[in-house]
Amino acid sequence: MNLYSAPTDYSLTKSIDFIYVGDSRAIRVRHPKANGVISLHGAHVLSYQPTGEEDLIWLSEDAKFDGKTAIRGGIPICWPWFADAASPAHGFARTSEWQLHAYQITQENALITLQLKDDQGTNPTWPHPFKARLLFEVGEELNVTLEIMNIGGHPWTFTGALHTYLNIGDIDTLSVTGLGQAFIDKLEDGTPQAEPATLSVASAIDRIYTEPKEEIVVHDPTFGRDIIIKNSGHNSAVVWNPWQEGAQAMADMPDDGYQNMLCVESAWYAPTIEEGQIVQPAKTYQLTTCLSSRPR
C-alpha cells in the first residue's frame, strides 16, 4: 500500500494532511527530513520513512483497515495492559478512535499529538479516569511517546508496550545486539533464561528481555543499514517474530511476511496489571521509543 500517493482528504498545512486508509483516517507528514503516517484508529504509526531510505516500519499487506480491528504492523499501542493480562489482548488503546490534539512543524521535524480520554467508551474492565497522548515526532529520528495522565482521585497501575514492527531486508541475515542476556521465554512457559548477547532469529521467537541496554541495534546487511532503538520509561524489550507457521495462522499477515519483520518493543512488562507501573493522581508517565538508522 502506497500511503504517500493516497489522495488528500483535508490539508492542515502544505506538508501535513489527512488521508483515508481503508475506513480509517490517518495523518500524513511529508517533511524534507522524513515522511510519516499515523492512523487515528489506535494512534497507530503506519510509516516512518527517512528521505531516500526504505521505511523503518513494516506494515502488513493484509492488514485490516476497518476502523475496528487492530492493525497488523506499524506501531500498535498496547495499553493499559500488555498481552493477555485482560481482554482484549494488548488493551483497548489500539482499537480506540483517537483525536488530533495538536500539530507543529519546524525545519527539523513535524510533531503530531493525538489524544484519548476515558470518556470515549473505553473498557469497563479498566474503569480508571485517564488522559492519554501519543506524540509522533518525525525528523531525522522517529520519536514516539505514549504519555498517560491519571486525572482521577486514586492511584492505578498499567502495563503496556510500543509494539514496533521493524521493516527488515531478510530475517535470515539479521542480528540484534543490546538486548542483554536475561529474558523470559513466552514460548517456553515464561521460563527465565540467559543467552549470548547477539541474537540471530531462525525460528519463532517471543521473548521479554528484562535487562536491555540503552541502545538496541538491529544489524540489517540486506538493506545495508543498522536500525538504532533507544527506549525510555520501559522496564523491558520484547522481541517477537511468529515465523512461517505463525504467519500462516494469521489472516492479516502474508505467509512469507515473517521474513521482512521483527518486533522490537519498548515495554513496561509485568505478569498482571496490578503488578504494573503505578500512576498517582495528577501524575503523568511517559513510555518512549526512538528509532534512527545509519548505513552499514
Residues forming contacts to ligand TA6 in the complex (CB under 6 A) are: 70, 83, 89-90, 163, 186, 206, 238, 240, 263, 265
Which residue type occupies 106? T
Question: Measured from the CB of residue 56, what is the shortest distance to ligand TA6 in angstroms?
Answer: 18
> What's the min distance (Å) between Cβ of 206 and ligand TA6?
5
Pick 31 or 44: Cβ nearer ligand TA6: 44
Could you tell me the three cell numbers for 7? Answer: 489522495
User: For residue 77, what are the β-bridge partners?
Assistant: 162
Q: How far, CA to CA in Å, does 261 sit from each of 58, 68, 247?
A: 6, 23, 11
CB of 89 to ligand TA6, least distance (A): 4
Q: How far is the CB of 242 from ligand TA6 (least distance, A)?
A: 7
Residue tagged active-site, from 41, 90, 234, 265:
265
Indicate the residue type of 157: T
54 is catalytic: no
Nearer residue to ligand TA6 within complex by CB, 16 or 239? 239
31, 41, 90, 163: which is the annotated catalytic residue? 163
- Catalytic (active site) residue 31: no
Given the complex with ligand TA6, which of 113 and 167 has the nearer CB atom? 167
Nearest residue to ligand TA6 by CB is 240
Measured from the CB atom, is 90 or 133 closer to ligand TA6? 90
Distances (CA, A) of 203 to 29, 118, 263: 36, 40, 14
Q: How far apart are CA 230 and CA 211, in angstroms?
A: 13
Catalytic positions are: 163, 265
